[in-house]
Chains A and B, each alone.
Chain A
Amino acid sequence: DVKVTQSSRYLVKRTGEKVFLECVQDMDHENMFWYRQDPGLGLRLIYFSYDVKMKEKGDIPEGYSVSREKKERFSLILESASTNQTSMYLCASTPDRAPPNYGYTFGSGTRLTVV
Protein backbone atom coordinates (compact mmCIF):
# COMPACT_ATOMS: atom_id res chain seq x y z
CA ASP A 1 0.00 0.00 0.00
CA VAL A 2 1.08 3.56 -0.68
CA LYS A 3 2.07 5.31 2.44
CA VAL A 4 2.04 9.06 2.91
CA THR A 5 3.65 10.08 6.16
CA GLN A 6 3.36 13.46 7.79
CA SER A 7 6.04 14.02 10.35
CA SER A 8 3.90 15.57 13.09
CA ARG A 9 0.34 14.83 14.20
CA TYR A 10 0.12 17.91 16.41
CA LEU A 11 2.11 21.13 16.43
CA VAL A 12 1.83 24.27 18.53
CA LYS A 13 3.75 27.30 17.31
CA ARG A 14 3.94 30.94 18.22
CA THR A 15 2.87 33.81 16.01
CA GLY A 16 5.73 34.91 13.78
CA GLU A 17 7.59 31.61 13.89
CA LYS A 18 8.75 29.89 10.71
CA VAL A 19 7.04 26.51 10.53
CA PHE A 20 7.95 23.47 8.44
CA LEU A 21 5.45 20.70 7.76
CA GLU A 22 7.01 17.61 6.22
CA CYS A 23 5.42 14.98 4.02
CA VAL A 24 7.06 11.82 2.66
CA GLN A 25 5.58 9.22 0.32
CA ASP A 26 7.11 5.85 -0.41
CA MET A 27 5.61 4.87 -3.78
CA ASP A 28 7.57 7.03 -6.20
CA HIS A 29 4.57 9.25 -6.97
CA GLU A 30 5.23 12.29 -9.13
CA ASN A 31 2.36 14.45 -7.86
CA MET A 32 2.14 15.74 -4.33
CA PHE A 33 -0.33 18.16 -2.76
CA TRP A 34 -0.85 20.24 0.35
CA TYR A 35 -4.36 21.04 1.56
CA ARG A 36 -5.72 22.74 4.60
CA GLN A 37 -9.01 21.70 6.11
CA ASP A 38 -11.24 23.93 8.20
CA PRO A 39 -14.70 23.28 9.65
CA GLY A 40 -17.41 24.24 7.19
CA LEU A 41 -14.90 25.00 4.42
CA GLY A 42 -13.71 21.55 3.48
CA LEU A 43 -10.34 20.93 1.86
CA ARG A 44 -8.64 23.81 0.11
CA LEU A 45 -5.57 23.39 -2.08
CA ILE A 46 -2.52 25.39 -1.00
CA TYR A 47 0.22 24.17 -3.35
CA PHE A 48 1.00 21.16 -5.46
CA SER A 49 4.02 19.76 -7.22
CA TYR A 50 4.19 17.51 -10.25
CA ASP A 51 7.94 16.97 -10.26
CA VAL A 52 11.09 17.61 -8.27
CA LYS A 53 11.75 21.34 -7.88
CA MET A 54 8.43 22.12 -9.58
CA LYS A 55 5.57 23.79 -7.76
CA GLU A 56 2.22 25.31 -8.61
CA LYS A 57 -0.02 27.56 -6.57
CA GLY A 58 -3.36 26.24 -5.52
CA ASP A 59 -6.38 28.21 -4.42
CA ILE A 60 -4.95 29.71 -1.21
CA PRO A 61 -1.14 30.03 -1.46
CA GLU A 62 -0.82 33.33 0.42
CA GLY A 63 1.37 33.02 3.49
CA TYR A 64 2.79 29.66 2.42
CA SER A 65 5.66 28.34 0.37
CA VAL A 66 6.77 24.84 -0.54
CA SER A 67 9.90 22.89 -1.27
CA ARG A 68 10.41 19.71 -3.25
CA GLU A 69 14.09 18.86 -3.41
CA LYS A 70 13.52 15.11 -3.61
CA LYS A 71 10.74 13.19 -5.29
CA GLU A 72 9.50 11.56 -2.12
CA ARG A 73 9.41 14.68 0.06
CA PHE A 74 7.18 17.73 -0.15
CA SER A 75 7.50 20.39 2.53
CA LEU A 76 5.05 23.15 3.38
CA ILE A 77 6.54 26.28 4.91
CA LEU A 78 4.76 28.96 6.86
CA GLU A 79 7.17 31.87 6.60
CA SER A 80 5.70 33.76 9.56
CA ALA A 81 2.93 31.85 11.25
CA SER A 82 -0.28 33.67 12.07
CA THR A 83 -3.29 32.64 14.13
CA ASN A 84 -5.45 32.37 11.00
CA GLN A 85 -3.20 29.55 9.85
CA THR A 86 -4.40 27.38 12.70
CA SER A 87 -5.83 24.42 10.82
CA MET A 88 -5.57 20.77 9.86
CA TYR A 89 -3.00 20.29 7.10
CA LEU A 90 -3.24 17.29 4.80
CA CYS A 91 -0.66 16.01 2.35
CA ALA A 92 -1.60 13.74 -0.56
CA SER A 93 0.05 12.08 -3.53
CA THR A 94 -0.82 10.43 -6.85
CA PRO A 95 1.29 8.97 -9.63
CA ASP A 96 1.72 10.83 -12.88
CA ARG A 97 -0.57 9.81 -15.74
CA ALA A 98 -2.74 8.01 -13.24
CA PRO A 99 -5.74 6.17 -14.67
CA PRO A 100 -8.98 8.07 -14.21
CA ASN A 101 -10.06 6.02 -11.22
CA TYR A 102 -6.84 6.52 -9.26
CA GLY A 103 -7.49 8.76 -6.31
CA TYR A 104 -5.46 10.56 -3.74
CA THR A 105 -3.62 8.82 -0.94
CA PHE A 106 -3.68 11.10 2.06
CA GLY A 107 -1.41 11.38 5.04
CA SER A 108 -2.83 11.34 8.55
CA GLY A 109 -2.75 15.10 8.82
CA THR A 110 -1.00 17.66 11.00
CA ARG A 111 -3.11 19.67 13.40
CA LEU A 112 -1.32 23.03 13.68
CA THR A 113 -2.22 25.55 16.35
CA VAL A 114 -0.68 29.01 16.19
CA VAL A 115 -0.86 30.94 19.46
Chain B
Amino acid sequence: KNQVEQSPQSLIILEGKNCTLQCNYTVSPFSNLRWYKQDTGRGPVSLTIMTFSENTKSNGRYTATLDADTKQSSLHITASQLSDSASYICVVSSGRSYIPTFGRGTSLIVHP
Protein backbone atom coordinates (compact mmCIF):
# COMPACT_ATOMS: atom_id res chain seq x y z
CA LYS B 1 0.00 0.00 0.00
CA ASN B 2 1.29 3.46 -0.88
CA GLN B 3 2.15 5.49 2.19
CA VAL B 4 3.71 8.84 3.03
CA GLU B 5 5.04 9.45 6.53
CA GLN B 6 6.04 12.90 7.77
CA SER B 7 8.03 13.90 10.78
CA PRO B 8 7.93 15.61 13.13
CA GLN B 9 4.18 15.95 13.58
CA SER B 10 4.69 19.43 14.99
CA LEU B 11 7.58 21.81 15.48
CA ILE B 12 8.08 25.09 17.30
CA ILE B 13 11.04 27.30 16.47
CA LEU B 14 12.15 30.87 17.05
CA GLU B 15 12.04 33.44 14.30
CA GLY B 16 15.27 33.52 12.31
CA LYS B 17 16.16 29.89 12.99
CA ASN B 18 16.40 27.16 10.37
CA CYS B 19 14.44 23.92 10.40
CA THR B 20 14.09 20.71 8.41
CA LEU B 21 10.96 18.67 7.83
CA GLN B 22 11.11 15.03 6.77
CA CYS B 23 9.03 12.90 4.41
CA ASN B 24 9.43 9.14 3.83
CA TYR B 25 7.36 7.37 1.22
CA THR B 26 6.65 3.92 -0.15
CA VAL B 27 4.78 5.00 -3.27
CA SER B 28 5.59 2.90 -6.31
CA PRO B 29 6.21 3.49 -9.12
CA PHE B 30 7.36 6.96 -8.20
CA SER B 31 6.39 9.87 -10.43
CA ASN B 32 6.92 13.05 -8.43
CA LEU B 33 6.95 14.52 -4.94
CA ARG B 34 5.46 17.85 -4.04
CA TRP B 35 5.58 19.95 -0.88
CA TYR B 36 2.54 22.08 -0.08
CA LYS B 37 2.19 24.88 2.43
CA GLN B 38 -1.18 25.29 4.08
CA ASP B 39 -1.90 28.40 6.11
CA THR B 40 -4.49 28.06 8.85
CA GLY B 41 -7.99 28.04 7.39
CA ARG B 42 -6.76 28.04 3.78
CA GLY B 43 -6.21 25.48 1.05
CA PRO B 44 -2.74 24.01 0.38
CA VAL B 45 -0.46 25.85 -2.03
CA SER B 46 2.38 24.14 -3.88
CA LEU B 47 5.93 25.09 -2.83
CA THR B 48 8.10 22.73 -4.87
CA ILE B 49 7.83 19.67 -7.06
CA MET B 50 10.54 17.13 -7.67
CA THR B 51 10.76 14.34 -10.19
CA PHE B 52 12.94 11.26 -10.11
CA SER B 53 15.99 12.90 -11.64
CA GLU B 54 16.04 15.92 -9.34
CA ASN B 55 17.66 15.87 -5.93
CA THR B 56 17.46 19.53 -4.89
CA LYS B 57 15.09 22.34 -5.67
CA SER B 58 14.77 25.77 -4.09
CA ASN B 59 11.97 28.28 -3.84
CA GLY B 60 13.26 31.32 -1.99
CA ARG B 61 14.01 30.30 1.59
CA TYR B 62 12.56 26.83 0.99
CA THR B 63 14.84 24.05 -0.26
CA ALA B 64 13.56 20.56 -0.95
CA THR B 65 15.76 17.51 -1.37
CA LEU B 66 14.91 14.11 -2.74
CA ASP B 67 16.73 10.80 -2.35
CA ALA B 68 14.91 8.42 -4.65
CA ASP B 69 17.04 5.47 -3.54
CA THR B 70 16.07 5.73 0.12
CA LYS B 71 12.64 7.21 -0.73
CA GLN B 72 13.14 10.23 1.47
CA SER B 73 12.60 13.93 1.02
CA SER B 74 13.25 16.90 3.23
CA LEU B 75 12.10 20.50 3.24
CA HIS B 76 14.58 22.93 4.71
CA ILE B 77 13.43 26.41 5.74
CA THR B 78 16.15 29.01 6.16
CA ALA B 79 15.92 32.07 8.39
CA SER B 80 12.34 31.37 9.39
CA GLN B 81 9.74 34.13 9.51
CA LEU B 82 6.46 34.40 11.37
CA SER B 83 4.65 33.89 8.07
CA ASP B 84 6.21 30.43 7.80
CA SER B 85 3.84 29.26 10.53
CA ALA B 86 1.69 26.75 8.67
CA SER B 87 1.17 23.09 7.96
CA TYR B 88 3.55 21.53 5.43
CA ILE B 89 2.24 18.56 3.50
CA CYS B 90 4.29 16.08 1.49
CA VAL B 91 2.41 14.58 -1.49
CA VAL B 92 3.74 11.76 -3.65
CA SER B 93 2.33 10.80 -7.04
CA SER B 94 2.54 7.40 -8.63
CA GLY B 95 2.87 6.74 -12.31
CA ARG B 96 -0.22 4.53 -12.12
CA SER B 97 -2.81 6.96 -10.81
CA TYR B 98 -3.60 10.66 -10.96
CA ILE B 99 -4.67 10.48 -7.32
CA PRO B 100 -1.61 11.14 -5.15
CA THR B 101 -0.83 9.94 -1.65
CA PHE B 102 -0.81 12.60 1.04
CA GLY B 103 1.24 12.75 4.19
CA ARG B 104 -0.49 13.95 7.35
CA GLY B 105 1.58 17.09 7.47
CA THR B 106 3.96 18.84 9.86
CA SER B 107 2.60 21.77 11.81
CA LEU B 108 5.23 24.49 12.13
CA ILE B 109 4.91 27.37 14.57
CA VAL B 110 7.42 30.21 14.41
CA HIS B 111 7.60 32.33 17.56
CA PRO B 112 8.98 35.90 17.66
Chain A interfacial positions (CB closer than 8 Å to B)? 4, 9, 31, 33, 40-43, 45, 48, 58, 90, 92, 94, 98, 100-101, 103-104, 106-109, 111
Give, as a whole number of angstroms, the nearest-CB distance from B28 to chain A.
14
How many A-B Cβ pairs are below 8 Å?
Answer: 51
In the complex, residue of chain A having the shortest beta-carbon distance to the beta carbon of B94: A100
The answer to whether B49 and A42 touch across the interface, beta carbons within 8 angstroms, is no
Given contacts A100-B31, A104-B91, 6 further A-B contacts (CB under 8 A): A42-B89, A43-B89, A101-B51, A103-B34, A108-B43, A111-B41
- Is there a chain A Cβ closer than 8 Å to B74's Cβ? no
Distance in Å from the Cβ of A98 to the closest Cβ of chain B? 7
Across the interface, A42 reaches (CB within 8 A) one of B34, B51, B98, B102, namely B102
B25-55 contacts to A (CB < 8 Å): 31-32, 34, 41-46, 49, 51
Task: State the interface size on chain B (CB cutoff 8 A).
Answer: 23
Which chain B residue shows the least CB distance to A96? B98
CB-CB under 8 A from A43, the residues of chain B are 89, 102
Q: B76 to chain A: which residues have CB within 8 Å?
A: none
